[in-house]
Amino acid sequence: MKLIAPFLINSVIDKESIRKVPQIKNYTGKTIIQTVSKSSLTPTNSFIIISSEGTTVVADPTLMPTPEELDLNPDAITVTHTHSDHIDPKFTDNQKCKKSIATVESFDVNDVHIYSIESSHRGNIINRNSPNNVIYVFEVDGLRIAHMGDIGQDHLTIKQIEALGKIDIALMQFSNPFSGMFDSDKGFTLIEELKPQIIIPTHSNPRSTRKIAKMLGKLEIVENLIALKPEDLKDSKRKVVWLKNTLNY
């Protein structure tokens, strides 16, 4: 399938550069969501979100580039859970910024509002005192982005649906045996309960990605980065956007 970049039209981003290393500046006037991990096993678990004003959040950093490879100084780091494919302790420990490590809380970082709610990594029992997966919601530039982490519930609870509210973009897994999502449709059930307009797969595989795209009617494959604003979602058409990690540090 041909790689396309539908959200970068008329952008000032150098489209050749997005194949090499992540962007650390935002000149698009939109919100940037991009891959960052150096991992070949889980290349789409980690993201950099940059607001139109330049506030930078790293979500679930894993096997991150060194400072010599990327001069990245985030304003915040969020971690849905502390499995090694969702956190890079060396990177996280060395950053002097707001850090939310699998914690249920609500806070502001410059022009970005972030809050989190508890969930379960596997099964439907949620440990509210010490959840093993935390969903983070980023309210930025009029968009609402949810990083679902490795949620492994069969269904969202009413409380979770109410707390999440309307989600525009969901970063979500669809194939992960450690969450009971191996040859299981519960990831598709969860995404239909949440009903985001754009789904960006994290743990997934070609079969799962194409299946969820078939359910929604459209799959777009984009190298590393998308830049969005609310006006880009006015058509209300739902789609799967596979952020294909082709970074070369």
* Structural domains for the chain: 6-244 (3.60.15.10)
- Which are the contacts of 222, defined by CB distance < 8 A and separation ≥ 6? 3, 4, 5, 6, 7, 241, 242, 243, 244
What pTM did the predictor assign? 0.91
pLDDT in tens, 3-45: 444 444 344 455 555 567 899 999 999 999 999 999 998 999 9
pLDDT confidence of residue 191: 87
Q: What is the pLDDT of residue 113?
A: 98
Q: Give pLDDT tens digits for 113-141.
A: 999 999 999 899 999 999 999 999 999 99
Q: What pLDDT, on a 0 to 100 scale, did the predictor assign at position 10?
A: 42
Reported in sequence order, the residue ranges of the chain that DSSP labels E, i.e. its strands, are 31-35, 47-50, 56-59, 76-79, 98-101, 106-109, 112-119, 133-140, 143-147, 169-172, 198-201, 219-223, 225-228, 239-244
Confidence at residue 178, expressed as pLDDT on a 0 to 100 scale: 75
Residue 171 confidence (pLDDT) above 80:
yes
Res 126: pLDDT:
95
pLDDT, tens digit, for every residue of 183-239? Answer: 567 878 898 999 999 999 998 877 778 888 888 778 999 999 999 999 999 988 899
How many Cα atoms are found within 13 Å in the side-chain-facing hemisphere of 35?
29
- Grade residue 1 by pLDDT with cuts at 50, 70 and 90: very low
pLDDT in tens, 145-159: 999 999 999 999 999
pLDDT digits (tens, 9 = 90+) for 62-87: 999 999 999 999 999 999 999 998 99
Predicted local confidence at residue 19, as pLDDT: 60
Looking at residue 16, its pLDDT comes to 58
> Looking at residue 140, what is its pLDDT?
98
